Structures are given as structure tokens and as C-alpha cells.
């Protein structure tokens, strides 16, 4: 994991598994890709984005360093 570590954002790895019958793989990938931030959005002040989870707690201990 150390080779994928980003000094600003950590590991930046998420894995999802979808199990189903007759799933439209291309549509699923397209829908998930549409959720990603653009390079321009990554550079903006994130405090200006709407908070869709206002009651979610942020625990700074979650930002662990790579092993």
C-alpha cells in the first residue's frame, strides 16, 4: 500500500463489490464515475460544498499513516 500512498489524501483506495444477475456493468461504472470530483473541484475549498451528511462525525484519528 505504501506505493499508492498520497501524502495529502492517504491511501485513496475504495473497493466495492456488486453481486447480481444481469447487471449492466457499463451503466454501473458510468454512474459511479459521475460521482467523482473533477480536478477543478479537488482544488476548491471543500467547505463551500453542500454538506449532505451534516450530522456525521469527523474523527481525525481515522487519518492513519501507511504501514
| pLDDT value, residue 61 | 59
For 4-60, write each residue's pLDDT tens digit. Answer: 788 888 887 778 899 999 999 999 999 999 988 899 998 999 888 888 888 877 665
Has residue 65 got a pLDDT over 60?
A: no
29: left (phi over 0), alpha (psi -120 to 50) or beta: alpha
Going from N- to C-terminal start, the domains of the chain cover: 1-35
Q: Which residues of 38-63 are buried (b: 16+ CB within 10 A; e: fewer)?
A: eeeeeeeeeeeeeeeeeeeeeeeeee
Separation in Å, CA 19 to CA 15, 16, 24, 34, 54: 13, 10, 11, 21, 31
| pLDDT value, residue 60 | 59
Among the listed residues 28, 25, 49, the one whose alpha carbon sits nearest the alpha carbon of residue 37? 49
Amino acid at each position: 500500500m505504501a506505493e499508492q500512498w498520497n501524502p495529502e489524501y492517504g491511501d485513496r483506495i475504495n473497493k466495492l463489490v456488486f453481486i447480481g444477475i444481469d447487471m449492466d456493468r457499463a451503466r454501473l461504472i458510468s454512474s459511479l464515475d459521475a460521482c467523482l470530483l473533477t480536478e477543478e473541484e479537488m482544488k476548491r475549498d471543500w467547505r463551500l460544498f453542500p454538506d449532505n451528511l451534516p450530522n456525521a462525525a469527523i474523527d481525525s484519528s481515522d487519518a492513519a499513516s501507511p504501514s
